[in-house]
Each structure stands twice: as C-alpha cells, then as structure tokens.
Amino acid sequence: MSSQPWLHQQGVEVQEFGGVRQFPLGLSRDARMYSCQRLNRVLSDTQILHALYKKHHWLMRGPTFYQLHLLLDKHAGEQLALVDTVAERVQTLGGVAVGDPRHVAEITKVPRPPDGVEEVPAMLSRLLEAHEIILDDAHDAAKRTAELGDDGTNDLLVSDVIRTGEMQAWFLAEHLVDTPLVHS
C-alpha cells in the first residue's frame, strides 16, 4: 500500500461531444440530440455572458459606479447559476455539456469585446446585445423543443433562461435611457 497519488493519468474518451447516451426519459434519441445541441449553444453564450458581466463589473466607472458594480455582479451570479442549470440539463438528456473555455469560444455567437476598457454605455450595450443573442436563440429553441415533446428543456428555457435574461436586459436598458441624474 502506498499513499502516493497516481499522477499524470491519461484516460480514453468514453463519450464524444455531440452524442447522447440512452436514458429512460420517455424522449426519442432525436429529441434529446436536438435539445443537447441547442442547449450547448445557449450554454456557451451564457458562459460568455457571465464572463462579460464579471469583466464589466470590474471595469465600471463614473457617477453610477457603485450601483452598476453591484448590479453587474448580481447578474453575473444569476448567469453562473444558469450555466450550471443548463449544463445539468444537457447531462440529464445523456449529452455532454460544453465546459472548456476554448470550446465555448468556438461555439459562442457573442462577439468578443476589446481587451481594454470601453465607456460605460458601450459596456452596457454590449451586455444587452449578448442578452438579445441568447434570448433570440432561447425563444427559437423553446418552440422547437416543445414541438419535439421535450417539456423539461422547454420549461428550463422559458422559466429560467428567458425570464432571467429578459429581467436582466430590462435592468440594463434602463441605465441607457437619456435621463439626467439630477434636475436643476
């Protein structure tokens, strides 16, 4: 007996990305395949949105710094919870959830921001654009998964992804209204 850990282990891939294992879920393989593909697109975009929220949270400036700093951190936490929920749904359906950031970058449709700091309205607008990409995809995926009888995925998309995204987009958009902070 030795307490030395077995280091530098290499394993074989036991399930390819893009395939599904058979689970007794009452859903056809085609429905589960479709749902996993669509969920992985939403998952990759959601992971990027979470990262954008954290980046912009750190880079906030100006007279509303404190409020936006807290708001973006709150939204980042909610997006992180969605990442876990969506990934677990992919796994529940027998698929493989996209998790490696390099793979996420290959799948996402959310444009990459500049490496530096943008003006605050540009950062908020960038977050809104990412939300719209996710919401457009989630609405379409929800409709199609409902047609395929995948009520669980439809519910997740509508109740979690869409409702959270719409609420967060509303909060962000209200910060871009041309209303003065104080009246003279």
Residue 91 predicted with pLDDT over 80: yes
Backbone angles phi and psi of 21, in degrees to 5:
-90, 155
Residue 80 predicted with pLDDT over 90: yes
Residue 55 predicted with pLDDT over 80: yes
Residue 75 predicted with pLDDT over 70: yes
Q: Residue for token digits 């709150």? A: 74
Higher pLDDT, 3 or 147: 147
Averaged pLDDT for residues 103-120:
96
Model pTM score: 0.92
- Could you tell me the two tokens for 43? 């998952």
Q: Which CATH class is domain 29-176?
A: mainly alpha
Residue 41's H or E segment, with its range, is: helix 29-59
Q: Which of 106, 89, 80 is nearest to 142 (CA)?
A: 89
- Could you tell me the two tokens for 25? 């879920």
Where residue 181 falls among pLDDT bands split at 50, 70, 90?
low
Residue 138 predicted with pLDDT over 70: yes
Burial status of residue 106 (CB atoms within 10 A of its CB: 0-12, 13-18, 19 or more): exposed
